[in-house]
Each structure stands twice: as C-alpha cells, then as structure tokens.
Chains A and B, each alone.
Chain A
Amino acid sequence: MTGMFFSYIPGNSLLHRLDPRSKIIGIMLASILIFRAMSVYEMLAIGVVFSILFLLSSTTVKAVYSSVYPMRIILIFIFTIHLFFTEGSSILSVFGMNISYEGLLKGSTVTLRFIYLLMFASLLTSSTPSSLITVGIERLLRPFPLKVLGISSFDLAAMMSMSLYFVPLLHGSFNDLKDAQLSRGLDMKRHPFKAMYSLTVPMIRVAFRMADDLAMSMESRCYQGVHRTSIFDLRFGRMDFLCISIFGLLSAIIFFMPVLQDF
C-alpha cells in the first residue's frame, strides 16, 4: 500500500517520539488557527510554524506534497468558485465573468487554509502509526461523558482502528481488480463510466465480504465490545509538556496577532 497519501513513514524524529495525544492536540490548535487566519501575516506565521515542525520531523517534501496533490481538483474548484463569485472591484473579465480583487484574495486564503490543513495532517500521519492515532483519540475522549449519549470511547476507538486497517486492504484489492480489468482491455480514459461500473460493483462485493469475514472472526473470538486495554502504552513525558507549551504559546501569539496589530 506504499505510495499512498497520508501514510506512515517510519523514523525516529522528535515528532515520531512525541505522544500521539500531544500531536493530536497540536493539530487541533493548528486547525483553529488556520480557520481563524485572515491576514497575510497570520498565514505567513502559520507557514513558519509548519516549517519548524517539518524540520523537526523526518518527513520528506514528497510525502507532504503527495497528501496535498490528490486533492488538487477540489482545491482548484474552491479557488475558482471564490474567484468568480465574490463581489468587489473587478480587475479582469473572463467569459463575461468578473474576477474581483477581493475574490482573488479570498480564494487564495480559503485554498491556502485547506492546503495548510492537509499539510499539518500529513505531519501527524507520517509521524504516527494509525494504531497510535486511534489510541490517542480514545484516551483524549475518555474524560468526556459520552456514555450519556450511548457511545463508549472504546467502541469508537475499535471502529476507528478497524476502518483504518481496512484502508490498505481495500486499496490492495482495488489495485488487483484494476489490474484484472485493465488486462481485459479496460480503457479508463476513453470509457470512464464503464470503468467506474466494472470497478465499483466487484469492489462493493469485496468490501462486504471482508467486513463479513472480520465480523465472523471477531465473534468466534468472543468479542464483547467491553473495556479492553490497549497494547500500546502511552506516556506523556517531559518533552510532550515542553512541546505542547511552546506550541500553545506560539498559537496564542498568532491567535492574538490581529489584536496586537491594533496597538
């Protein structure tokens, strides 16, 4: 399943060694900042924070790029929509549609926000195995009274890890299937509809079969869905406190940047 976007890259960098919980909290802080950022300065500051984190991880530029690149069509779509449908002073006219200065600015900001989100997410996923992300989320959710809603954080974690384990499996089956249909002369560019049909129908069958097999094997091993301890022992160390503090401080500075600018 290698070569997939958002896949884990083994390593021993600072980011690899951090507790998954601190990384998840970090991502949450970063997301708040990203969605709040409006000005060029804030965007630049987030860029600087990302670069520092990037240098602290052993992630490659290629890995980050490969998590943004598959989303290019959505990104281009978001950008174009903002470009053409924002009211403001017109700077250019294409096909009778006006491109405004405000549209250009807003389009770039919104698109950049998404790119930042993807980039930060790729930092998390490239430095943390999916199993640890799941454990981290489960631990973070544990203090919340989800029981009232009839949800147990263990069930959530189990579901999440199962879905994550299915990704590479389904990806593998999909590649096998694609090879089989290509060998039967399928031309994806010339007949996109036929391609979709000949790939999705067997894929759905495969997915259901896999889910069925998993359910059966869980049942045969008496899975009850009760509180289970995790094989991964999480330790929130001194480094985690330090990193979270620094990151929190940086976030606070960026968060209050618009206020500071007014002085």
Chain B
Amino acid sequence: MSIDIKNLIFSYNRSTSLEKHALNDVSLSIKKGDFVLISGEVGSGKSTLIKHMNGLLKPCSGSVEVDGIPTHKKDIRSKVGMLFQFPQKQLFGKTVDEDISFGPANFGIKGNQLKKQVHEAMDLMFLDESIASVSPFDLSGGQMRLVAMAGVLASKPDYLILDEPASGLDAKNRKILFSILKKLNSKGISIIVVSHQISDVLPLVDRLFLIDSGKIVFKGSPDEYLRSTNLYLPDIPWIMKELHDRGFDVKFDIFDIDEAFYEVSSLLNPQKVDEQ
C-alpha cells in the first residue's frame, strides 16, 4: 500500500516552442501511514509532482501508481485527497452540508453512509453541527477553509495531500492545523504536506523530500536532513548546529525559540538553569 513514482519525467507544453521541463527523473515512494514533507523553492516542481499523485497530470514518461493502480484510472481519486492552496475558493454549495457531501457523493456514497461521513468530517474539523445548513459564503475566512478541508476529508482518503496548507494562517491556527494533521496521521492516513516553509512541519514528519529544478536533491529523515552539510537549514536549527559543530554540547534538532533559548542559557550558566 503506497504511492510509487518511478522515473517520472514531465514537461508542460510538450513538443511546442514553449516546452518547459518541470520534473526530471523523479522516483519516490510514500507508504501508507507516512507523514511526509515535500519542500523546495517556488517553481521547483512541487505542485507539478503532487498533481501526478491523483492523476490530474499524466507522466510524459515513467510511472505513477497508487496502491498498484496506475493514476490514469479515475478510481484512485477517492484514495488520494488533495487540498489546494486557499481551498476556500473551491466552495460552491448552497449549504455547508451540500458542499462537504460533494466529494463523497461523486465517489458513489449515498444515504446514511454519506450523512455519517459528512458528520465525521465536520467533527474532525471542529465544525459545529449547527452550521451545516448555513451557506458557506456566510462564514468567516477561517471557517470556510475548515469547511473546504472537511469537504476533502469526507471522502475518507487513504492519502491526504496538502499544498501549502499553512499559508495565510496565523500562528494559533497553524498549530491547530498541524494538530489535526497529526491526529489524522495517527488514524493511519498518510499525510503529504507540500511547503516551502520547512521549520513548521519538520518536527512532525517521518520523511522529507527536497526538490530543486524538477529533481529530488534530498530524501531522508528530518535527523538526516539536520546532519547534512550542504543543505539550507531554517534559522534556529542552523544556529544550534553551528554551536554544536563548534564543540558546544547542545541538541540541534530544535525548532522552537523557547527550547533554543533554554539550551543556550543552560550552556552559559548550567547551575542557574538547573535551579530553575
């Protein structure tokens, strides 16, 4: 049970003067239950890559399979949920309920089962049952985003792909979002987060893929990433690593500013910190 990508090559506007290579010989495998981060600069091919995972784009060469089924079969879309950037834009239903049931209904779920799945999805996103009959356009921006997420989760995907899920969220809502993702992951759903912001997500993930100009330049665990010598690191782990490399006894898998402060101050004045 996994998403398997082998030697994927893709270019936009193939065989025209405007041809643009987007992905070049990408191979990776994401197992069921994994929590994965795909990161890279803007325009590196992240979005192109994830659009292959549910068959929105078809490879020019190479293969993409979900649980052994090639992605040109439409049934795989019920297995792979995809949440795009600013998902509140996709809302259209007259009521929240209608919008959330759009996905599962398209995948052939009817009657009580449909109601149950919609209810569960709303529960997961902390949406109150009372808004089910409200127009989604009457909600606040944050709530609209939650409704859109529920609309994807209601189809009960095995794999959930999120494109820049934290963009436009404040720190508090970002925390809530990641705790929801963690909860979903503990239920056995694979989470694939695409983000150029590494530091938010890295503490949560099992594995990390870095893409640059359509090529995978790094795959491995967060720990391997932090120990790497030639890759760009977020500020806090970078400082800690520099300290560590210069012979100071500090942990360097730290992303939180408070934790970093504790580490450094304990280094400066071990006794005082112990007393505290």
Contacts and interface: CB of A to CB of B under 8 A. Distances in A.
Interface of A: 2-3, 9, 60, 62, 173, 176-177, 179-187, 191, 197-199, 201-202, 205-206
B80, B92, B107, B151 interface centre (most CB from chain A within 10 Å)? B92
Interface of B: 12-13, 16-18, 51, 54, 56, 74, 77-78, 80-82, 84, 87, 89-92, 102-104, 106-107, 137, 151-152, 155
Contact of B84 (A176, A186, A201, A206): A176
B13 A182 contact: no
What are the nearest 3 A-B pairs in CB distance?
Answer: A185-B106, A183-B82, A201-B92
Nearest to B104: A185
Contact of B13 (A2, A173, A177): A2
B89 A177 contact: yes
Contacts of A186: 102, 106
Given A176-B84, A180-B89, A184-B90, 18 more contacts: A3-B18, A60-B17, A177-B90, A179-B51, A179-B84, A180-B84, A182-B56, A183-B81, A183-B152, A184-B103, A184-B151, A185-B77, A185-B78, A187-B74, A187-B106, A191-B106, A197-B92, A202-B90
A179 to B, nearest CB: 5
Contacts of B18: 2-3
B77 A180 contact: no
Contacts of A187: 74, 106
A54 to B, nearest CB: 16
A21 B162 CA distance: 48
A214 to B, nearest CB: 17
Contacts of B17: 9, 60
B77 A202 contact: no
Nearest to A180: B90
A205 B141 CA distance: 14
Nearest to A184: B103
20 contacts: A2-B13, A3-B13, A3-B16, A9-B17, A179-B56, A179-B84, A180-B82, A180-B84, A180-B89, A183-B56, A183-B77, A183-B82, A183-B152, A184-B90, A185-B103, A187-B74, A198-B102, A202-B89, A202-B91, A205-B89
A183 B54 contact: yes
Nearest to B81: A183
B90 A181 contact: yes
Nearest to B20: A2
Nearest to B92: A201
A2 B103 contact: no
Contacts of A2: 12-13, 16, 18
A175 to B, nearest CB: 10
Contacts of A3: 13, 16, 18
A1 B152 CA distance: 27
Contacts of B51: 179
A186 B82 CA distance: 13
Contacts of B92: 197-199, 201-202
Contact of A176 (B13, B77, B89, B107): B89
Nearest to A200: B92
A111 B80 CA distance: 46
A32 to B, nearest CB: 33
Nearest to A3: B13
Contacts of B16: 2-3, 60, 62
